[in-house]
A and B are shown apart, each in its own frame.
Chain A
Amino acid sequence: MKAYKYLISSILTLFFLVGITGCDKYLNEPPENTSFTQQTDYTKSENMKLPLIGLYEKQNMVDLGWSDFPLISVRGDDVNAGGSGDQQDFSETDKYNYNKDYWMYNALWQDYYSYMITANSAMEQIDLYKEYSPDKALAEQYKAEAKVLKAWWMFQLSRVWGNLPIPPSSDPTDLLTVPLTSKDDIMKAISGWMDEAIPNLPAIRPNERADLPGGVTKYTAYAIKALANLELKQYQAVADAAGEIINSSRFSLEPDFYQLFKIKGKLNNENLMEMQYSDLGQGSGDNYYYLFSFFGPQGWTPKVEGSADGWGFWEPSIKWIKFMLDRGEYIRLQTSVLFTDRGIAEIKKDPNYATLPSWISNITPSGDKINDFAREMFCSGKHYLPTDQLTPGRVTYGTNKNFQCIRYAEVLLMYAEALTQGASGTAGSAAQAVNIVRARAGLPLLSGVTLDQVMDEKFAELAMEWGTRFFDMVRLGRINELSYEGRTFTTDKTFLPYPQNQVDQLPILRK
């Protein structure tokens, strides 16, 4: 009996010992399935562009962020919200009745600020790679590209909200201590960032870049510098920056205005910056797309059966259509507007427009027929991809189309305006610049241009795009233009109110 007991006791002791000691080392095992940034190998210089590409992914945002562009650009007299009955607060914003609790305001703020934080992070990461990289100039170029993208988002936000904090680093909590910068100072800062970036960027067109096709270049930076200085009314700086682009002779307008906004417009010689998308040439499978459904008609008979329609937002205004008809425009009007029978009838109600040119119909030049639908009377043609240009098999509206941000036409017209405002230019006269644009649009050339003529040309050329009309009218104090079709604009409505959600989080916005 005793022997048994000893046997048992020793077995037990064994159990305990194994139990206690054998397993302790497991407590130091690191977790599974993570990549440890502390382990990123910054000596691998070929990886230096990865953070930059990560930043471009923000610019080429797939599916999300569809509400950012509309909110920025809706308030001009060129375009109405559309989507009647849906997104009430968006319609109200178009009529200058703002609601600080509306989710779209908060979304735009969060989207663009998070992109800017990512830009700061990309620059920090590139600096870490730069330390080991043999090609320091390349590192500086990448950082400059990040600066350009950051400037674009800052520019848009400041036009919308005016005074804002500038994110200083990749840590968002730093924003809690940074003061508000006035809009003018933001524009000056943007101009300064471009001055820093310009020397480090390649002097080519974006579509000439072999390493990152469509990535930003020196001329993108000049264009943003011009845009920022235009807001500041620093017309000489505008003329100089735009002049650099013109004098490079690298850019030219796409001869076919209609095709400029379609597949032919992808990586076109006219583009200084665009958001890039692709369905990889396949009728199914992976698809990197912008949510153009927002702009699609809510009922159509497409040329390619089965192609999907859209949500019925973004309606060209009758005021703009009549303006274009008065100018005798054909190419630009036909490209920019998709008509419906109901819309045509509405125009004709005005005795001055009882007869319309015969080419105006609800069938687009590409053969898609737009049916009548309740939400709007016209659709934007600049955000429309004909169904015969869709990759066969793809049905979603606008699949494979890019979204242009800055075009050479805008650069030419900015240059022209700066000269009419008194600046001296080294890239030709204002009339020469305007005539390049007019020639492409099939209009007779002008011998000299006034400020009004340049602004009219801008109105005709850039409608439905990035809200330029609204911000130009505000800048020039032409507020009566912005009061039309039942809405009244007053200067206190220049900026949107800060989103309530942000005011809740950031004390500096409460002052």
Chain B
Amino acid sequence: MKKNLPRKQVMGWFRSMFLLLLAIACTAAFGQDRSISGSVTDRSTSESLPGAAVLIKGTSIGVVTDMDGKFTLKIPSGDNILVISYVGYERQEILIGNQLVFRIQMVLSKTSLQEVVVVGYGSSKVKDLTSSIVTMKADEISKTPSSQPINALQGKVAGVQVISAGGPGDSPTLRIRGVGSFPGRENEAPLYVVDGMFYDNIDFVSPSDIASMSVLKDASASAIYGVRAANGVVLIETKSGSYNQKPEITYNGYFGYQVAQNVLKMANSQQFTQMAMESGSEADKTFILNAMQRYGRSYIDPNIPAPNTDWYGEILKPAMITNQSLNFTGGNDKARYTIGGDYFLQDGIMKMDNKYERFNLRTKVDFKATKWLTIGGNFIFSNALKYNNYAGAWSDAYYAVPIMPVYDPSNLLATPTAYSNAQDLGYRSGQNPFPNMDNNIDRMKIKKLLANFYLDFTLIPKTLTFKTTYNYSFQSVDQRMINLPWFIGNSFQNPDATITRYLTNYNDWIWDNVLTFTKSFGKHNLTVMGGTSFKNESFTMLTAQGKNFPTGMEQSWYINQSTVIPVEAVNDNGSAQYGMSYFGRVAYNYKEKYLLYATMRADGSNKYQQKWGYFPTVGVGWVITEENFLKNNKALPYFKIRGSWGQLGNDKIQASDGAYTTYVVNTTMGGVVYGGTVVTNSYSELKWEMTQEFDAGFTAKFLTNRLSADFDYYNRTTKNAAIPVQIPLVGGSVLKPVGSIRNSGVELALNWSDQAFNGKFSYSVGANFTTLKNQATDLYGQDYIDGGTAEFRQRTYVGQPLMAFYGRQVAGVYQNQAEINADPVAIANGLVPGDFKYVDQNGDGKIDDDDRVILGSYFPSFIYGGEINLKYLGIDLSVSVYGQTGNKILNRKRGEVIWTSDANMDADLAVNRWHGDGTTNKYPSSAGLRKGWNQKMSDFFVEDGSFFRIQNIQLGYTLQSKNWLKGNFPETRIFLTAERPLTIFKYHGFTPEVANGVDNQTYPVAAVYTIGLNVKF
């Protein structure tokens, strides 16, 4: 097939020719030769690579592949290593052994500019982009042992913040360039596109099935997705087979353990008793005495009770995680296929039935039916079983007092297990987490199906193509929540067995039609694309409840078997949304030097009153190194500056809020149920949030392509942000589309890769940095919007971050009576030594709520990540780190003391409380903790959430094809992974990864240690 070779290939060809001549000259010297032959192709496109260099390592014997990418080479006897290299691709080394024919597939190197990346509804070469897109490939993604592919992005991509979720099967939170919507309404997530289908949740995708994951960060990249794209887009392409490839069987598997990290130390019995004695509360001292009476005294110290329960130690356990996947891929020149299955199992670290088990089957087939028609289909089926943990256990274990054991055999009335009950000691609640852990069973059966079929017509070869795709997604979630009855005490029991079922179905389909035109007119290269898309998303839900069913066997846990079926617990819900879009793109470049890019999308939806939205974007780029004055500069082979502006939409906002609607309520009068209605009239029409984004940056490669740098400045402003406008007096608020929010910052990604010792040793070092400034720019004339709760106020001021923590600043602690006497504020408020001194912000001589200031927000102002990859012969080692600073966390667990003071506290607080002059200037006294004066929202509760983490360490060894099994030994790699082995932070909690900054029930994020195996036949 004739084709014009691009410039770089020609250059490569010449260089290789020279080497060839040299090689021919030398070959003659050797005798007893034999011949090997083979072909060299590009792995992902299956195109042959002419001009690739094929050498014998350590010699000057070699050839260059011909126009069809084929070669023949005479090799000397003995062990020889074949080295294949080609500019822009990763070098390969293969032990020749007895093999005679080689099919070599080259993989593009990471920083290559020839790389083709997927953009919305098409693909583009990296060098032609004016947009900010980062792509991660399969081998990077598979380094992270997790059920969720998003976890692999943590720390690797500038501008992206991933907040892990600890529970098995839980999806992490992903934020691209800050948060553009008002928090708390679950509409901040980016759009996920999996093989062309839109998703909000990609928990069914197995990381080992992903070929590439691209993050579209700026407007020019994501605006093509219009009304979904305001929070960024993540494009996922699953693996396909390759043309002209003999069948390959790949096995990927790992097995390992998760261990909870940074388990918070709680006060032990001695510390807890000390706190109770100093608390000034007779009741608490009595409880200690009661504990000693009931459980005995400790033989170490007769003044503290005998039990010394470490509740977190009791409820945590190491848990197993494993993934096994098997894939068959292959193809001939007309078709390619991949078929595979994947099994994943992750146990939870809480001592109860808590796990996530998923089985996936997938197949992808592409078939070149005729010269002008390619058809294909893709089918992923995922069947998952998830047992959710009892989330309350994390706070139960925090508050449970250490002076009580887990079991209390003297509790004779308790069934089914005699757990201890803090109420026996006089506390208000039972506190023991185990009854709920044992008897709350929350099971979800999640089945997801993604199917798509396409027809790709080549109307004019290499110029005009038309593709029509039908995508269908079906998701079904069957959730059964069971509470079995148990009895520990009169006020610590669950008398009824209850069952609640939620059956939820999502049915979505999208039909895309895309016409693409590509043509070069001399030095002008033009691609024009136009398309339409129609989508239908619907969801139905049915729920019902039952009480008092026979609990003996799980087979009888049905509403059908219940004696009582409450009528008001039956509920039926549904929604249907339709969308119609027209979109187009023009990508133009002149001599690949001046780049111009524009897209436009018109989206129609039936969700809002306003039916149509328009989302244009334009991007420009200038590849300065193509200019004559910088051409072929050795120090700076590539430098492109680019900029873009665009408008995106967010249609996850609900259609209206408040609403002038009627809802039904029931009450009893005279012992009979009467139904009534309540009408509320805080109706507010909502619409799409519009985000305008401006991005400017440059991409550069230095020093013979070894150092690359990517820099971006971004500025996104969301207009019509749906913000809560307070309904005064009554409380609550109604959303109105009248706010404006801005996120801005810079991103920098640097990467250095090189080789040493004649290519035996290669390494790369990468780092990325992101800054983020998030602020509300307009709040509809309101100076601020209050959020959070009255006791833990979060306030959004104009010019400050969203939902910033708002409270007093602690200046220190009153140490002695002299300080009290000297301070009129202390005297006016009846304070004693051990109480907080607050900063008098307005200098009025009084401390009250007028002395509150912004204490920080949960958005990190700086995120960084780094990575080192080393490769020596068959050994590879990679270490990646991740960190963030500038974010604050509200330690809401310590804040619970406002409502109930008969709970445990963390050891740091217990040991370092103020207990005498000079003992501390940070924490109040034990008695002080119970005083309202010290319980005000302040920077005692709002802590620094910065952290540094070693994100991933992976050590692998690749067994080369040796002379085992007669040269048929498959490519094998064994690897050990430690994921999140070390996290360093100051916050007094389990994990600093708290998505919205308020730490209440956060599931600890565990470290995962695995051993894995990749085998390719």
Contact = CB atoms under 8 A, between A and B. Distances in A.
B459 A9 contact: yes
B606 A103 contact: no
A51 B726 contact: no
Which of A85, A173, A395 has its CB near the most chain B CB atoms (within 10 A)? A85
A282 B572 CA distance: 26
Interface string A17-56: 0011001101111111111111010000001011111111
A60 B457 contact: no
B513 A57 contact: no
Interface string A396-417: 0000000000000000000000
Which of A101, A122, A500 has its CB near the most chain B CB atoms (within 10 A)? A101
B285 to A, nearest CB: 9
Contact of A26 (B563, B578, B729): B578
B423 to A, nearest CB: 8
Interface stretch (B179-187, B391-399, B676-684): B676-684
Contacts of B457: 8, 12
Given A172-B728, A286-B568, A374-B426, A276 B679 contact: no
B606 A19 contact: no
A99 B932 contact: yes
Interface stretch (A109-117, A244-252, A314-322): A109-117
A504 interface: yes
A374 B676 CA distance: 43
Given A88-B930, A395-B493, A106 B790 contact: yes
Given A34-B661, A106-B790, A172-B730, A50 B675 contact: yes
A374 B283 contact: yes
Contact of A87 (B668, B670, B899): B899
Contacts of A106: 731, 790
B547 A285 contact: yes
Interface in A357-379: 373-375
A172 B580 contact: no
Nearest to A394: B495
B466 interface: yes
Contacts of B468: 15
A8 B932 contact: no
B665 A54 contact: yes
Contacts of B728: 172-173, 175-176, 505-506
A114 B732 CA distance: 10
Interface string B8-33: 00000000000000000000000000
Contacts of B729: 109-110, 113, 165, 167, 172, 175, 502, 505-506
Contacts of A34: 659, 661
Nearest to B611: A27
Given A35-B662, A276-B669, A54 B564 contact: no
Contacts of B487: 306
Interface string A252-282: 0000000000000011000000001110111
Interface in B578-612: 578, 580, 582, 604-607, 611
Given A86-B902, A214-B670, A284 B428 contact: no
Nearest to B572: A33
Interface in B380-401: none
A30 B574 CA distance: 12
Contacts of A448: none
B660 A60 contact: no
A200 interface: no
B58 interface: no
B268 to A, nearest CB: 22
B532 A19 contact: yes
Given A27-B604, A57-B665, A89-B932, A8 B459 contact: yes
A212 interface: yes
A31 B655 contact: yes
B485 to A, nearest CB: 11
A276 B668 contact: yes
A484 interface: no
Interface string B761-797: 0000000000000000000000000100011000000
A51 B660 contact: no
Contacts of A429: none
Contacts of B678: 51, 54-55, 57, 118, 121-122
Contact of A29 (B490, B548, B606, B662): B606
Contact of A60 (B563, B611, B667, B672): B667
Contacts, number: 254
Given A26-B578, A29-B578, A212-B674, A306 B490 contact: yes
A31 B669 contact: no
Interface string B892-903: 000000111110
A308 B491 contact: yes
A442 to B, nearest CB: 31
A118 B564 CA distance: 33
B661 A55 contact: no
A15 B574 contact: no
Which of B511, B563, B679 has its CB near the most chain A CB atoms (within 10 A)? B679
A385 to B, nearest CB: 15
A312 B668 CA distance: 27
Contacts of A20: 532, 582
Interface in B462-495: 466, 468, 487, 490-491, 493, 495
A489 interface: no
A116 to B, nearest CB: 9
Contact of A32 (B283, B563, B566, B574): B574
Nearest to B668: A278
B606 to A, nearest CB: 5
A311 interface: yes
Nearest to B897: A88
Given A212-B674, A277-B668, A284-B495, 18 more contacts: A8-B459, A16-B513, A27-B605, A32-B574, A37-B661, A51-B676, A57-B678, A84-B281, A85-B902, A113-B730, A122-B678, A171-B681, A172-B727, A173-B728, A212-B669, A213-B670, A280-B671, A284-B547
Interface of A: 4-5, 8-9, 12, 15-16, 19-20, 23-24, 26-38, 40, 47, 49-57, 60, 62, 84-89, 92, 99-103, 106, 109-110, 113-114, 117-118, 121-122, 124-125, 165, 167, 170-173, 175-176, 207, 212-215, 266-267, 276-278, 280-282, 284-286, 288, 293, 298-299, 302, 306-312, 373-375, 395, 499-502, 504-506
18 contacts: A28-B606, A33-B573, A36-B661, A37-B679, A53-B674, A53-B676, A54-B665, A57-B667, A88-B901, A103-B898, A114-B731, A121-B679, A172-B682, A175-B730, A278-B671, A286-B567, A286-B568, A298-B428
Interface of B: 281-284, 286-287, 372, 423, 426, 428, 457, 459, 466, 468, 487, 490-491, 493, 495-496, 511, 513, 515, 532, 534, 536, 547-548, 563-564, 566-568, 572-576, 578, 580, 582, 604-607, 611, 655, 659-662, 665-682, 726-731, 786, 790-791, 849, 898-902, 930-932, 936
10 nearest A-B residue pairs (beta carbon) = A53-B676, A213-B670, A26-B578, A54-B676, A85-B283, A278-B668, A110-B731, A285-B564, A54-B678, A57-B667
